[in-house]
Amino acid sequence: MIGRLNHVAIAVPDLAAAADQYRNTLGAVVRDPQDEPDHGVTVVFIELPNTKIELLYPLGDNSPIAGFLEKNPSGGIHHICYEVDDILAARDRLKAAGARVLGNGEPKIGAHGKPVLFLHPKDFNGCLVELEQV
């Protein structure tokens, strides 16, 4: 059901410093910051040959990333994202298997302009999982 790894998301306390580190220290292609108000984050994508890194920074007072950074002030891996061909079919299959879909269970449009869903980390070995329809 799942396809390739789309990205690994890392919450960061300083978005500009993290982007500079990937650009200048690691020599990666770093995209411009992008506000995602529906998700409460500002994102920066780092392009790698085989996947992407998504840097996450809080946007707004109700950002889920703010709470993550309170618990992890230095930042850290927030979630992993897998691609799926049909997000509604994937959701239905996962729910039938007992997995919990976060939010209201309906896809939102993600940073790539495609439908996304998040799965409860307690159902996936402590890892928050994002599914993105390709």
Q: pLDDT for 95-112, tens place per residue?
A: 999 999 999 999 999 999
> What's the confidence (pLDDT) of residue 61?
82
Q: pLDDT for 18-71, tens place per residue?
A: 999 999 999 999 999 999 999 999 999 999 999 999 999 999 888 999 999 999
Q: β-strands 108-109, 76-84: how paired?
A: unpaired
Residue showing tokens 């920074």: 57
pLDDT band of 5, cuts 50, 70, 90: very high
End-to-end CA gap in the chain: 12
Distance CA 118, CA 33 (A): 22
Distance, C-alpha 30 to centroid of its chain: 16
Residue 45 CB contacts under 8 Å (≥ 6 apart), including other chains = 7, 30, 31, 34, 52, 53, 54, 55, 111
36 part of the active site:
no
Partners of 129 in the beta sheet? 80, 119
Q: Which helix (H) or strand (E) holds 58?
A: strand 52-58
Strand, coil or helix: 20: helix
Among residues 54, 83, 130, 132, which one is catalytic? Answer: 130
**Token representation of residue 131:** 């599914």
Residue 1 has pLDDT above 90, yes or no: no
